[in-house]
Structure 1
């Protein structure tokens, strides 16, 4: 039978450090009475309390006074009618079972990671394994399994990534809400700031070697690479002199071409209106500065020209597919940097585009012109390094249409941006 007065005795200050040490030991070893606990540099009251428990004398100034857990348990039981564990729980609440908690945590982690480790991507894609490694190191897996509402989110992220990787080039675009519904039955599951969206975008950023997106534009760009439409009004393409057949958009394009004025086409318009394009050749550039010059210098006489304004969007791919179906041949030009030639190769593969002035000779000529322009600026007193060069950064990619191009870029180590070679592009458009 428990003696409440005897229990009160253990609330005295001389027992507190010893009982805290006992609680830690029992919580860490699953309640086993093996081993001992002690107090470092005990004061007089603590020393006498431990002597009373063990019956063994400790001299003044002892560095540590210890007692076995079995001794402490026996004395507590004899005095209070409670086991040591029972006393500790009476005084300060239930004891934790750290080994059992660790085992449950390990089992939960294994359960959470199993869909990822059993995914075909785990064996085939280094970026996927890197992503999982990041989630393990930054504590994300632990945070996911700590809350019932997020336990299954990692498995959902794996299914989203598998779905995106399975999407072949040329497949019809899907809305972000449609993709979310397909995988989770919740159209809002991939909205910005959801846990699922954060996981997937981190994986896609690793997949493409870019920083985790921090702006709406960067997020749209990552989704656009898989033709996942976040906003069909934000996905757009800039065109010049691209007359088209069809009501609505076709009429607007034809009218803009008559005046030689640039026109923005959105993915929403392309999905709303049916158009047909009959141009034999459509030139494509990456930088709007090129299209702006073409509009200013050539006006309505410029042949059909479209500008991706950076990485080709879903709207560009939709328009390019319409042009190719109408019999057009695409001629693509972009920046001579690693992202630029990567995009050029992707457009060539997807739409059968011809690479326009994107050979090693074109790159070296553009580099020479850029160096000459930089030297001229330096002579005029403009700030600069005197050579007009900046470093070529990013991950090198092959240029199968002209392998010498990648070799020359690696050797020279400098990019050539499209606006620097606009004169030669405008000459072609005039011709």
Structure 2
């Protein structure tokens, strides 16, 4: 042990760290003592010290070539009397395995990891998913691998719990239950299956396997739909959307609610539970915006008027409730007139809605003409310009080009006067 300490003290210099880091990498790559490493960027002091170690003049070498066999011979003949592979393990404080051997052992460890999980699986569907993951594929493989690399023990516990959840859903198909209640029964934590938690992500992919679906982008709406298919319903109160001026058909039990709201120019906050229940919507133009301040400014001007435009405010990224409402309105024959900020996030929100509603989507003060006529703007940052350059908007093929040429971000607040004039001529 003392000789090892002496050896490490002797090689405690930056030039040796560079040398043995390169040698260790070469040794793992070849799986034997062989080949040559190249060192550059060495200081005069580095070259002087390595000259003494290698017993050759390296002082004028801008690039130093060192054979692994050369270093092995030096170490064997030194007072440390140690072969290069043994030296590397002492120097780095860990076992140095050739890449092929390390990969073989890692593969064996991965298989054993899943063998233990298989013992907890009670259904064929779950065992098949685990087998696909063990084979290096299957829904959620990349997520599982990332969790495994970060903490193997935690990954085992998460997958074991996910397996239990999946088995319960397979064994009792059609049972409807609230997701937080199911999560609490499973783990004691009602938030364990939330979208931002590892277990929630794992079950999301497990359900992809259960229903043989292609792996899709992880998002709140997709998660809700998929979990609902499995009988797990999220709470339908916290997701909501602000509306004003919407109208239901005469005779619909909800019609008085919307009539009173429109008459008073007063907004309604509709939770998902309300939106998902049947309503006989009257078709028409629906003005959608993500900005609550713009929504409020329009409401200010609507008070006392006979006609109140139908409006929806998403308050940023559309919630599940907002998307569900817009789906129902479009299904009823309405047209979505959407306006947002002329910046990358605002255009991206518009793009998603345009793709979702196709011909039922119309830009509202959200095209090249509106941008160029805006009274004020703020200079684009380099990061914003970079994001714009790779963005496409389906409703106006010239908008991005105009924004990059002018070089300004335009926020919806500066257009609110023109919007009000449009709605209340």
Question: Could you say which TM-score interval applies, normalised by the shorter chain?
Answer: 0.5 to 0.7
Deviates more, 1:278-287 or 1:339-348: 339-348
| In 1: Cα distance, 2:203 partner to 2:257 partner | 38
The 3 A distance-change label for structure 1 pair 283 and 145 is closer
Of 263, 282, 293, which residue of structure 1 is paired with 2:268?
A: 263
How far did residue 331 of structure 1 move? 0.9
Aligned 8 A contact 1:333 1:356 in 2:
yes
CA distance in 1, matches of 2:165, 2:392: 34
TM-score, normalization: structure 2? Answer: 0.53
> Residues 251-400 of structure 1: matches in 2 within 5 Å?
251-272=256-277, 274-299=278-303, 300=305, 301-351=307-357, 352-366=360-374, 369-371=375-377, 393=384, 394=387, 396-400=390-394
Aligned residues: 283
Deviation at 1:407, TM superposition (A): 2.5
Contiguous gaps of at least 5 residues in structure 2: 6-77, 83-101, 116-129, 170-175, 206-215, 226-232
CA 392–336 in structure 1, closer or farther in 2 if over 3 Å, else same: farther
* Cα 1:294–1:102 shift into 2, 3 Å: closer
What residue in structure 2 maps to residue 402 of structure 1? Answer: 396
**230 and 420 in structure 1: CA distance in 2 versus 1, 3 angstrom threshold:** farther
Structure 1 distance, partners of 2:349, 2:224, is 15
1: CA distance, partners of 2:311 / 2:103: 68
- Give the whole-Å Cα distance in 1 for the aligned partners of 2:292 and 2:261: 17
Distance 1:260 1:339 in 2: 29
The equivalent residue for 2:153 is 143
SS of structure 2 residue aligned to 1:370? coil
Q: Is the 8 A contact 1:235 1:266 kept in 2?
A: yes
CA distance in 2, matches of 1:240, 1:143: 52
- Which of 389-398 and 321-330 deviates more? 389-398
Distance in 2 between residues matched to 1:328 and 1:403, nearest whole Å: 25
In structure 2, the residue matched to 1:420 is 414
Query: 1:321 is paired with a residue of what secondary structure?
Result: helix
Q: Report matched runs for 1:77-226 at 5 Å.
A: 104-108=108-112, 114-115=132-133, 117-119=136-138, 134-135=146-147, 139-140=150-151, 142-144=152-154, 146-147=156-157, 150-151=159-160, 153=162, 177=179, 190-191=193-194, 195-197=198-200, 222-224=219-221
The answer to whether the Cα contact below 8 Å between 1:260 and 1:302 also exists between their aligned partners in 2 is yes
What is the aligned partner in structure 2 of residue 88 from structure 1? none
C-alpha distance in 1, partners of 2:283/2:401?
Answer: 35
Structure 1 CA distance for aligned equivalents of residues 106 and 222 of structure 2: 41
For residues 384-416 of structure 1, give each alpha carbon's deviation from its aligned partner in whole angstroms, at most 9, with x where no partner exists: xxx666566357421122121122334455432
- How far 1:199 sits from its partner (Å)? 5.2
Q: What is the RMSD of the two structures over their aligned residues, measured on CA atoms?
A: 4.8
Report the Cα distance in structure 1 between the residues aligned to 2:338 and 2:105, rounded to whole angstroms.
59
Q: Is the 8 A contact 1:239 1:306 kept in 2?
A: yes
